[in-house]
Amino acid sequence: MEYRTLGRTGIQVSPLCLGTLLLGSWGTTDEDECRRIVHTALDAGINFIDTADVYSFGESEQIVGRAIKGRRDDIVLATKFNNPMDDSPNRRGNSRRWIMRAVEDSLRRLDTDYIDLYQVHRPDPLTDIDETLGALSDLVRQGKVRAIGTSSFPAEELVEAQWAAERRSRERFSTEQLSYSILARHAEAASLPVAERYGLGVMVWSPLNGGWLTGKYRRDAPPPKDSRASTNAEHFDFRAESVREVKLELTEKLGALAAEAGMSLIHLALGFVLSHRAVTSAVIGPRTVDQLASQLGAVEVSLTPAVLDAIDEIVPPGTSLSSYDIGYTPPALTDATLRRRPHQPGRRASTT
């Protein structure tokens, strides 16, 4: 397997990164199967593993830690913090207080002395980015963390973080992990160009668009019983009829294009994201060894300009079909008070 440099870090990583969201109670509950997934990936040349403290609320990190025992030095290990770990208001977010606790928890669960890439899972509007960078810089100096990164940060917040690091002499974020697939191309407008401009390594999550780009969903058949559309339909956009119908139509066209190009839809989808000049690695999240096997061959795929042009014709650059595909909604879109001036009593109120 050919390896790629992760941003400015000098760390060499495989083009496919093993994502572990589904290892544990959120997906595969059989730990022996989880270990087979990890070992099969490592034996195939994947040296990059991505997890997060919130995945199955720590269970995924524990499974990964046990699975890589004895092979730790050969692995680039990434994890994340930010999401709530319980009902406590201070066991979440990007504050120094939580970062210093969260990293110790992750180190313990992963059974390791250091984390190669420690990522901020989402922005935190309540915390100054300098506070976050200050805490992460201390972890780098302490040797507990080798490099730091972000996930699902809007382009403007990527720029602000780079400015703050330079201004305050902090460690700079070296990577960004963002949502990107043929059916979710929003990142092409700003986030990917900004990441490239600042030399960030880019990890892509959901390159198969939550399973849509596997070919498992068809107009003439109900979704498989073990698919996300069946097990997690409220979070998955399968019940949104307008989105579902568009995605079914597009995946049919993309499936036909893949067949014409002599490859599976899965390989077409992974080959597409890996062909972007700013992308370093695609994070795949198999639930079974068979699913992993269907994705491994994508590293040997090189899409021709003609195939990429055909994809652009089916799904134009910048297209985003579902808000679930983006991964982060700025608070100003969900909190009306952030868009409105305070009401001033005594002024004439509108009657309409």
Q: 3-class SS at 201?
A: strand
Percent with pLDDT over 70 in the chain? 95
Structure token pair of residue 327: 């991964």
- Residues annotated as catalytic (active site), given as ranges: 55
pLDDT digits (tens, 9 = 90+) for 166-178: 999 999 999 999 9
Of the pLDDT bands very low, low, confident and very high (cuts 50, 70, 90), residue 239 is low
Residue-averaged pLDDT of the chain: 94
How large is the angle between the packed helices 265-274 and 241-260, nearest 10 degrees? 90
pLDDT exceeds 90 at position 343: no
Measuring CA to CA, how many Å separate 183 from each of 80, 208, 257? 25, 9, 14
What's the CATH code, domain 4-338? Answer: 3.20.20.100
pLDDT for the residue numbered 119: 98
Cβ–Cβ under 8 Å, residues 157 and 123: yes
Average pLDDT, stretch 19-43? 97
Of the pLDDT bands very low, low, confident and very high (cuts 50, 70, 90), residue 217 is confident
Single-letter amino acid code for the residue at 126: L
pLDDT digits (tens, 9 = 90+) for 329-341: 999 899 999 999 8
Average pLDDT, stretch 218-233? 72
Identify the bridge partners of residue 17 per DSSP, sorted by sequence position: 283
Run of H or E including 81: strand 76-81
- Whether the predicted model's global pTM rises above the 0.85 cut: yes
Dihedral pair phi/psi, residue 149, rounded to 5°: -150, 180
pLDDT exceeds 90 at position 220: no
Q: Which residues of 115-134 are buried (b: 16+ CB within 10 A; e: fewer)?
A: bbbbbbbbbbeebebbbbbb
pLDDT digits (tens, 9 = 90+) for 290-316: 999 999 999 999 999 999 999 999 999
pLDDT digits (tens, 9 = 90+) for 116-130: 999 999 999 999 999
Strands 115-120 and 175-179: unpaired
Cβ–Cβ under 8 Å, residues 270 and 258: no
pLDDT exceeds 80 at position 110: yes
Cβ–Cβ under 8 Å, residues 122 and 152: yes
